[in-house]
Chain A
Amino acid sequence: MAAQHSQGIQTLLEAEKEAAKIVQQARQYRVQKLKDARSQASKEIEEYKAAKEAEFQSFEDSRAGTTSNAQSAIDRETEVKLQQITDLYETNKDAVVKKLLDRVILVEPELHRNLKKVEA
């Protein structure tokens, strides 16, 4: 009887041990999963970051193109306007110089308006 008992208990103890092993494996799985979470998350983050950087870079490149276009467009416009200014000057300068000279010698002497002529 005693031998049977101890055999029975042995079997049960082994069963418990097996059970504990199963649970332990599950716990290890959990720990591993948490580590995986961190590493997978950082991988995803890296991918996201790279994608964003690429997007920003292409945005920058397109902008750089428009900047240099704007520069040359403005330069051309400015050249045209400068030429217009010089042309206007050439057309009008003689008339204006004449106007200046005419006014230089134009004299209209007047008595100050607050004064009256002194009658001798």
Chain B
Amino acid sequence: MSTRALNDEEVLAEMGKMVAFIKQEALEKAREIKVKADEEFAIEKAKLVKQEQQAIDAQHEKKRKAAEVAQKIAQSNLTNKSRLKLLHRREEHIQDLFSTGRTSILTLAQDQGRYRQFLEGVIVQGFLQLLEPAATLHARKSDVSIVEQAASNAAAVYKQISGRVVDFKVEGTLSNDGAGGIKLISGTQRITVDNTLDERLRLLEDRMLPEIRKDVFGVNPNRKFYT
């Protein structure tokens, strides 16, 4: 390379080149910075948006699930209420039926022949339950005479069936509001057999419920088990 000093033109040229070089370097650096800035901008924005979107999605998912559960609960409540209404209506009808029964038995005592037969049977049944040598028969005041008759027949039948003898007393202590029948108390006053029409009806109401249900409302289609 020539080592002579540069003349003015060459100096200017060199200066120009250096200035241009400096500017070029600056522009390149600036461009690098800008490109990197754009990249970082995109990444940062995407990260923020994704984060928040996930949070929002999770929130909405929870809300949606809660709404679904609430709807299921509401639906279940509706069907429950409906079933209860049906049960209530059936219960009302059954109670109505029983009260009809209770008023009907009051007329049973009017058929004298059948009533006497009934009393005899009921007294024998009472004797056979007590299996005591002495008993008191409590009847309605209006029934006392019929009961005395029936009771002596009954005592004979009792002896025939069980071979045992019973000594009975008739008392007209039952209220006349009752439907009829007999209450037997053993001689020692320790055993009571309530064989009145009212008590018998009450026991039947209780025991016959499944049969009554079937007769009035039909078989339950949802029932799976029968003993």
Q: Which residues of A contact B (CB under 8 A)?
A: 4, 8, 11-12, 15-16, 18-20, 22-23, 25-27, 29-30, 33-34, 36-38, 40-42, 44-45, 48-49, 52, 56, 59-60, 63, 67, 70-71, 74-75, 77-78, 81-82, 85-86, 88-89, 92-93, 95-97, 99-101, 103-105, 107-112, 115, 117-120
Contacts and interface: CB of A to CB of B under 8 A. Distances in A.
A115 to B, nearest CB: 7
A8 B79 CA distance: 98
B60 A52 contact: yes
Contacts of A4: 11
Given A12-B19, A34-B44, A88-B218, A45 B25 contact: no
Q: Interface residues of B: mostly helix, strand, loop or mixed?
A: helix
27 contacts: A16-B22, A19-B26, A30-B36, A37-B41, A42-B52, A48-B52, A48-B56, A52-B57, A56-B63, A56-B64, A63-B71, A77-B82, A78-B82, A81-B82, A82-B85, A89-B217, A93-B216, A95-B215, A100-B101, A100-B212, A101-B101, A104-B105, A104-B197, A107-B122, A107-B124, A109-B121, A111-B128
Contact of B48 (A8, A37, A93, A112): A37
Q: Chain A contact residues: over half helix, strand or loop, or mixed?
A: helix
B19 A11 contact: yes
A23 B118 contact: no
